[in-house]
Amino acid sequence: MGTGATERGRAERRPEVLAPFLLSLCCAALAEQIRYRIPEEMPKGSVVGNLAKDLGFGVQDLPTRKLRVSSEKPYFTVRPETGELLVSDRVDREQICAKKPACALEFEAVAENPLNFYHVSVEIEDINDHTPKFTHSFFELQISESAQPGTRFILEVAEDEDTALNSLHDYKLSLSPSFSVLNKEKQDGSKYPELILEKALDREQKSYYSLILTALDGGNPPLSGTTELRIQVTDANDNPPVFHQEVYRVSLSENVPPGTTVLQVSATDQDEGIYSEITYSFYRPGQVFGLNSKNGEITTENTLDFEENKEYSIVVEGRDGGGLVAQCTVEISIQDENDNSPEVTFHSLLEMILENVVPGTVIALIKIHDKDSGENGEVNCRLEGEVPFKIISSSRNSYKLVTDKTLDREQTPEYNVTITATDKGTPPLSSSTTITLHVGDVNDNAPVFQQAAYVAHVAENNAPGASIAQVSASDPDLGPNGQVAYSIVASDLEPRALASYVSVGAQSGVVYAQRAFDHEQLRAFALTLQARDQGAPARGANVSLRVLVGDRNDNAPRVLHPAPGPDGAALLDTVPRAAEPGYLVTKVVAVDADAGHNAWLSYHVLQASDPGLFSLGLRTGEVRTARALGDRDAARHRLLVAVRDGGQPPLSATATLHLVFADSLQEVLPDLQDRPAPADAQAELQFYLVVALALVSVLFLLAVILAIALRLRHSSGRAAWGCFQSALGSKAGPVVQPNYSEGTLPYSYNLCVAQTGKTEFNFLKCSDPLSSGQDLLCGDSSGALFPLSNSSEPASHSESLTPQAPPNTDWRFSQAQRPGTSGSQNGDETGTWPNNQFDTEMLQAMILASASEAADGSSTLGGGAGTMGLSARYGPQFTLQHVPDYRQNVYIPGSNATLTNAAGKRDGKAPAGGNGNKKKSGKKEKK
């Protein structure tokens, strides 16, 4: 929409302010250009027009539209509150447009939401703010006295920077009867003065004239400038020079090189001699062209530029030797060439483009400018390369840069966009401008772990606080969108106990052990770790971590059999004298709480009284006879067995075996009574070595064996055994049943023996607990049980005891009732034995309680069928079916297999080798 303004009176001498005027009511005009007209030199802050109103914006739309001016030269600005276009800088028409008849400032007004721009043209009207000026304050002119009236002389031209009516209008000369001034006009409309000689001069009367030349412009009021005209009258020179042409006109291309000949002026003089010699010169010397003073040839001195100056007007003087001067005008027109490449300028360029912008978003406004004219100034614009942007033409030489595809910062964080502008000249010129567009990040990527799942191996007994694993996740986003924090979100551990087991570094992803792990208590556990970025909204990913606790050799083997008694007394195992090589004497049973090689047990003999008599299974722990017993071999032997595991370094435990060769249980008791316990293992070993080496010791050993045989024969004739006489018996104690029939326990029997003096021994009270595998059953061959008594007590007291009923033959253990261990099933070389210490102690407690009651006369061992002589305090329902089976720890002497009750049931007889009994020494083994 165009606007106009009402002119104010010129008499006010104030700048004219032109209000917007109406050019057209058609809406299509708005899309083309908004035009205003103002006078130059308006003060800053002056209102040019209401731009918002002319664009159709309401006052309420101004805060959101953010109307502003986008221009290289900020002469104008927009008031945000009202949308008025204001003058923001000095507007000098002469500085902006020079001598152009029409002067207009064109720029774009930019509005946002939505982004758009509008073309605005402000026409600048000239005011009379410049006075005409002469180049020099005076100039001299020589005129011969012989000059004829009517001779004309071209004078200096004054310059006025104003245009149109305010430009130079005419010249005036101070009053003089001899001279006058004539105003002449050039082809371009400019005026120059010529001095006319009105009457003949007489140098003898007046040789010098001083006149004032005044230049006036057409302003209201007019402005003027003056210069002094100094005229020197010279002696007569009858004929002045005459140029062939009064005005020379020539066209010249702007791209001609310096030194190019433009044209040649020529003048003649009818005089002869020195008065006919003509010298050429510029009336006003210039820097663009040069003149040969001899021949009048004009050449170019510097390069020409059509965009700076389209034409030149030069005055050439021809002076003869007598001082007469002739003048001509040379008008040079410059032709335009395509010598300027287009210029690309960006406006409202976005510093950052978010990667989630939709296609079609405006990125920048592009302005193309070419200084050339015509087709040389018409420009086409295009994008170089494959980029997700495109250019949309908005108006003449104006474009929009918009997005054409979706952006992804992770693939391309920035784009170098090259825009090439090409004009339509011949040949065409082009220029390229490259800008870098940075793509802003949004949180569109979740963290990704480097592995699908993690497995960490940590050995037990680790140091608390040590790192056991590290997880790592990457996020290609930037800043907080790519900063990953780790946490534990789930576990198969108890939620309350999780913090005491492991923790994870929030920034590093390192998993730390908060405590020392124990492979025997916790072998593996699983965690679910989460990596979460700091974006809004945050994104996360989970991964599983399985921690496997490895075993270390931190548990020594534990010997289950033979187990010493509660008082530290050693166990005795009896071996038949007629045992063949390979006879299974006993088995060392041990377990290890570790796993794998750390629990792989091996059995080794550390010390043996007779190393060649027994052999020990490396993996089974079975003690077997290596050869038959000789006449000179000792009856009692001691083996020190070491149990080692397979760890590095290995851990070990020791077990001491006391083996006695005897055919019956009665043979053991006198030997135990007479044979004092060795002082220590080393002394016993030394003793047997001495016996083995000395013949005297052999004879002594035979004597001892003979004495033991006589003693046993003497003891077997007594009613209650000679070992239970008053000198040897205690108040109450268990009695020994040497034989057992079908249904009785096929165990080796243990005797509780204590040293009471040098020549006698007492049975210990069986209220003391026995270790695993010990049984206490005492009685004669007929099955009656007798308490032990001192020799001082009457014999009738022993005979008055009521015989005890034999044990229930139905007492059996089924295969399902036996503890399920590797040793009890197959007894292979690599098997290990379970820890049944708790059940063993329960069995010992019940047996000892029953034995104590029998010694007090309150109960008998055979009080009830299936009760194994247990007292009523345990109840008749507590049968041996409730007792764990420990027969896997007992072996039948003379057999190569573990004892079971299956043979007894099938054959209806006692198992073979029933005379292999287990006894406890009455004297504690010294350690």
pLDDT given at position 567 = 58
Which one-letter amino acid corresponds to residue 469? A
Angle between helices 681-693 and 695-716 (to 10 degrees): 110
Number of C-beta neighbours around residue 425 at 10 A: 22
Nearest to 215 by CA among 158, 166, 175: 158
Q: ∠ at Cα 510 (507, 515), nearest 5°? A: 125
- Residue 247 and residue 157 in contact, taking contact as beta carbons nearer than 8 Å: no
Q: pTM surpassing 0.95?
A: no
Which strand (E) or helix (H) includes residue 158?
Answer: none
Residues 6+ away with beta carbon under 8 Å from 819: 834, 836, 839, 884, 885, 888
CA distances from 476 to 19, 367, 389 (A): 59, 37, 24
pLDDT average per 10 residues of sequence, the chain (927 residues): 34 34 36 84 93 90 88 84 91 86 88 88 91 90 87 89 86 92 85 91 88 92 93 81 92 91 92 86 84 93 87 91 89 88 86 89 89 85 90 85 91 91 88 91 92 94 92 92 93 88 94 92 93 92 94 91 68 86 93 90 92 92 92 89 92 92 73 51 63 73 88 62 36 36 34 33 35 35 32 34 37 36 37 39 42 38 35 34 36 39 36 40 38
Residues 6+ away with beta carbon under 8 Å from 878: 846, 867, 870
Nearest to 23 by CA among 15, 13, 33: 33
Number of C-beta neighbours around residue 627 at 10 A: 15
- Look up residue 533 and give its two tokens: 């970025």
Which one-letter amino acid corresponds to residue 413? P
pLDDT given at position 222 = 92
- Residue 379 and residue 413 in contact, taking contact as beta carbons nearer than 8 Å: no
Q: How far apart are CA 896 and CA 612, in angstroms?
A: 19
Core vs surface per residue 638-674: b (16+ CB within 10 A) or e = bbbbbbbbbbeebbbbebbbbbbbbeebbbbbbbbbe
Nearest to 192 by CA among 142, 154, 135: 154
Which one-letter amino acid corresponds to residue 45? G
pLDDT given at position 814 = 38
Q: ∠ at Cα 673 (670, 678), nearest 5°? A: 120
DSSP 573: E
The number of CA neighbours under 13 Å toward the Cβ of 223 is 18
pLDDT given at position 715 = 63
Nearest to 775 by CA among 814, 730, 744: 744
pLDDT given at position 203 = 81
Instruction: Write the Ramachandran bin of 11: left for phi over 0, alpha for psi from -120 to 50, otherwise beta.
Output: alpha
